[in-house]
Copies of this chain bind each other. A is one copy, B any other.
Amino acid sequence: MSSAPRVGILGGGFMARVHAHAARSARAELVAIASSSAARAADAAAALGVAQALPDAASLVAADVDVVHVCTPNTTHASYAAQAIAAGRHVVCEKPLATSVDEAQALVDALDEAGLVGAVPFVYRYHPMVREARARLAASGEALLSVDAAYLQDWMLLPDDENWRAGAELGGPSRAFADIGSHLLDLVEFVAGQRIVSLSATTRTVFDQRGDASVANEDIAAVLFRLSGGAVGTALVTQMAPGRKNALTIEWHAADASYRFEQERPDELWIGERAGSRLLQRDPESLSPDAARLSRVPGGHPMGYQDAFDAFVADAYAAIAGAAPDGLPTFHDGVRAAVLTDAVLRSAASGEWIDTTARARRSVAA
């Protein structure tokens, strides 16, 4: 396969638009799209400039495509990904990869057996300043001491804020943690180059009912965690923090320096030192190679969410073409997210610390 794959998209919502733009930016051919109905597929094909609208997932995975992008509701990810793998397609699957650890692991097994590539858009890894923090922390070799993490949104603030994500059928057993907490701890581990080995959590579901629908999962999760190197951390995850739109913020404290990344100002990285702290602005001239590689434009020309997504998809396609791009989030990372989500739910239920090392069969740093 050449580096510009033939692409099929499952789903016609906002995320499908983001995937389609990234695929086009990587010069892929947008071959086909399917959505929840033939009519919606036709609309999406027109809106996104995809050549062909197909009636359902079955016909999409059977179409002449190299890779399938799964951009459907959460509880459907696993079965569509499985269908695509069965059809011999590479897969880019929205998170959560699955709503249980076993299901997620089964996808990895199927993928490995088939020799295919599976990528999951833990896309915040693709901000250059995240890579910069990771490179500096790795280069220093200094011990990590603590981590202060939060992911705050407000789109589920009001009792009548309804969404399929809040229901059991399409959303699954975890919402705030599975949807955004998983991003947060993925980034904690990715930059640290270490695994979370145990955690203690508490969760809240503020409204039992939203509009006419029952709520099946949490609005808020608060988590204590320990990393393999001994660092401790806190993570607050909520979809009910007024005024916060997508405020993923992490501060890593190592023995020589601190690193603070705020997703809403992704071109900045605060580097704390005993004397001489800095607010580093993205500037490819002075970044580490990995961060410079992801810098599409010069310093002072802000990069954003779509830029990160474009870079993620480009790397996924590079992996499909045989390369091994550093830091590409794969189905293994999807399993990891399922393990952590499961631990959060179990700790919140029992009040106990939960070991999170069990299924982590591949280390982040490997």
Partner-B contacts on A (CB < 8 A)? 14, 18, 21, 24-25, 27, 49, 145-146, 148, 150, 152-154, 157-158, 200-204, 206, 219-220, 222-224, 226, 230-236, 238, 240-247, 251, 253-258, 263-267, 270-281, 283, 285-286, 296-307, 351-353
B234, A224: Cβ atoms under 8 Å?
yes
| Set of chain B residues within 8 Å of A146, measured between Cβ atoms | 204, 220, 222, 236, 238, 240-241
B223, A234: Cβ atoms under 8 Å?
yes
What is the oligomeric copy number? 4
Residue of B at shortest CB range from A206?
B145
A300, B246: Cβ atoms under 8 Å?
yes
A235, B234: Cβ atoms under 8 Å?
yes
22 inter-chain pairs at a CB distance below 8 angstroms, sorted by A residue, are A145-B238, A145-B241, A146-B204, A148-B152, A154-B272, A200-B200, A203-B232, A204-B232, A222-B234, A241-B253, A242-B254, A242-B272, A243-B271, A246-B300, A264-B302, A265-B302, A276-B278, A277-B278, A278-B278, A301-B305, A302-B302, A351-B353
Assuming A49-B27, A241-B258, is B274 touching A277 (CB within 8 A)?
no
B222, A242: Cβ atoms under 8 Å?
no
14 more CB-based (< 8 A) A-B contacts, given A266-B302, A275-B286: A24-B25, A145-B220, A152-B253, A200-B202, A241-B253, A241-B272, A242-B254, A242-B257, A243-B257, A246-B299, A246-B301, A267-B304, A276-B278, A306-B307
A148 to B241, CA, bound (A): 10
A224, B242: Cβ atoms under 8 Å?
no
Out of B235, B255, B304, name the residue touching A301 (CB < 8 Å).
B304
**A273 → chain B, closest Cβ, in Å?**
5
Residue of B at shortest CB range from A277?
B243
Assuming A242-B253, A272-B243, is B232 touching A297 (CB within 8 A)?
no
| Set of chain B residues within 8 Å of A298, measured between Cβ atoms | 14, 245-246
A239 to B230, CA, bound (A): 16
Out of B203, B271, B274, name the residue touching A154 (CB < 8 Å).
B274
Out of B223, B224, B242, name the residue touching A274 (CB < 8 Å).
B242
Residue of B at shortest CB range from A21?
B25
**A284 → chain B, closest Cβ, in Å?**
11
